Amino acid sequence: MSPSTRRQVVFVAVFLVIVLFFMLTFRLSIVDGDSMLPTYHSGQIVLVWRRGPFCPPLRRNEVVLVRQAREVIIKRIARLPGEPLGHSFPDLQALAFRNGLADYYEQHIVQTSHGPQVELTVPKGYIVVLGDNLAVSEDSRVFGPVPEKDVLGVVVNSPPPPYTSIRP
């Protein structure tokens, strides 16, 4: 085999390894709906890092693809396992009680200046997700916490939320 042919074979082999790595590690996904406006628009294509053994742990405010019922949805992580739902905007704890979802969360009695109160926390192995467009998004306020195993991937280089209230 001539040196020129050998270089071409090596180039093609390296190219195929890179393509295979990309296909196994990343996926392209199309945003469907307005629940992530203004961050993402319907029809927009996002690059998603597939969840796998080499993925870092999930972090609050990351945008993720989640399997919910028979759909794949795109949402932002609002709470992680063990975190309290809290009373910030939106008041996730009040919404959980109002929507009949409180049983999906761990319940603890805490002492406050107003006496003992129930505090809801996200169970181990679950996360709470919200859409950036809170007015139209169907998210954990509607269907409760999401199993971490249902997170398909993390959107690469996602911008911060359009609101600053996604803190516990």
What is the domain-level CATH number for residue 25? 2.10.109.10
Range(s) of the domain holding residue 92: 3-155
Hey, which of 42-56, 79-93, 120-134 has the most confident mean pLDDT? 120-134
| Helix or strand holding residue 142 (H, E) | helix 140-143
DSSP single-letter state for residue 89: S
Domain membership of residue 161 (yes or no) is no
Domain tally for the chain? 1
Q: Return the amino acid letter for 142.
A: V
Q: For residue 63, tell me if it sits in a domain.
A: yes
Residue 75, domain member (yes or no): yes
Between CA 46 and CA 26 the distance in angstroms is 10
Catalytic one among 75, 137, 140, 158? 75
Q: Is residue 166, in this structure, part of any structural domain at all?
A: no
Q: Catalytic residue among 35, 137, 140, 158, which?
A: 35
Residues 54-89: pLDDT tens digits? 788 999 999 999 999 899 999 999 999 999 998 776
Q: Is 75 a catalytic residue?
A: yes
Is 35 assigned a catalytic role?
A: yes
Tokens of 110: 């805490």
Q: How far apart are CA 74 and CA 113, in angstroms?
A: 38
Does 162 reside within a domain? Answer: no
Answer yes or no: is pLDDT of 166 > 60: no
